[in-house]
Amino acid sequence: MKGRLMETVTEWIEKNSHVLVNRRPDEPLDDLRPLAPLVRDARIVALGAAARQTHELSDVAHRIVRLLVEEEGFRSLALEGDDPGRLGLDVYVATGEGDPRALLRKARPFWQTAEILGLVHWMRSYNERHPGDPVRFAQFPAERVRHATRLDGLADLERSLADGVNWWQQLTGDNVVYWGGMAHTAVGAPRTVSPSEPLESHQNMGGYLRERLGPDYRSVGLTMAHGSIGQPLPVPRPDFVDSLLHTAAGNRAGYVLNLGTSQPQPIRRLLDAPTRTRLIGPSYDPRDDAAHHMSGGSLASWFDVVVHTQEVTPSRPLP
């Protein structure tokens, strides 16, 4: 993608995206409201972060949870990779019993952050204000949890993740926000995650949920450009679609982009073209930044909406 086409696509994103002005979870949601009509009629909305260990992506996810709960009637939150019932967080947000900091210290390492603690406090505060219409953590039956510990590989894990959140939604009738990693939430049928040995290419949770639910499953990609995740994070390479998202941002801190609308043919072809997007797992080597990506699909096939953040900083440890 060179020359005039690059300029055309950049101009289209600039014109059709909605700038994010506010950053803190407790700030007004006005700038985020253009996201609401893009996802409000879904039963499961998944927020997939390009990296778990960032302050900014955590805060924007928190703001989206607030928007969907406070204004769109979503009532369950699924935290990927752990069981709030096992931790006791479900009891805390419902009754106020327990110390959420102590409870989170039993969670997976990527949830042991001040940002997640802030989300848990907000859920408790919301329930105190709305005792007759509370928000809760999604839970999964014990047999599914035991099954997840005996899985043979990532392909089985993806199916199990889809089964769990789909089971909870059908059981409760709640509209669910699912907060996890982009490798799981993107609509991949299949998708490939790198680096891994051997390369893992298979249908993922998002692929299974789109197959089962159609548009009742919406995928929101939380992308990022540069900054730090505890190690320096360079500007994305030109062959990554994140480079285009970065260029289109200009001096804006972030924006919301709808990928589901009709676009001019050159734009549509690019959004549907196979590409790579930055994806950072538990380990990251900035000297080999190009190796950390997801492939096997396109920006428009993976996500219904992109919420892009230009600069990130590391998430904060629990106080």
**What pLDDT score was predicted for residue 2?**
55
Closest of 224, 212, 245 to residue 56, by C-alpha? 224
Listed by start position, the domains of the chain span 3-82+159-312
Pairing of strands 136-137, 76-79: parallel
Q: What CA dihedral angle connects 114, 116, 117 and 120, to 10 degrees? A: 160
The enclosing H or E element of 8 equals helix 3-16
Give the model's pLDDT for residue 48: 98
C-alpha closest to that of 243 among 226, 221, 227 = 226
The confidence score (pLDDT) of residue 148 equals 52
Identify the segments of the chain with pLDDT beneath 50: 1, 145-146, 149
The CATH number of domain 3-82+159-312 is 3.90.950.10: no
The model carries a pTM of 0.95
Longest dimension (CA), the chain: 59
Helix and strand totals (H; E) in the chain: 14, 13
The answer to whether residues 182 and 204 touch, using CB atoms and an 8 Å cutoff, is no
Size of the chain, expressed as the number of residues it contains: 319
Model pLDDT for residues 189-230, shown as the tens digit of each residue: 889 998 876 777 889 999 999 999 999 999 999 999 999 999
pLDDT, residue 9, reads: 87
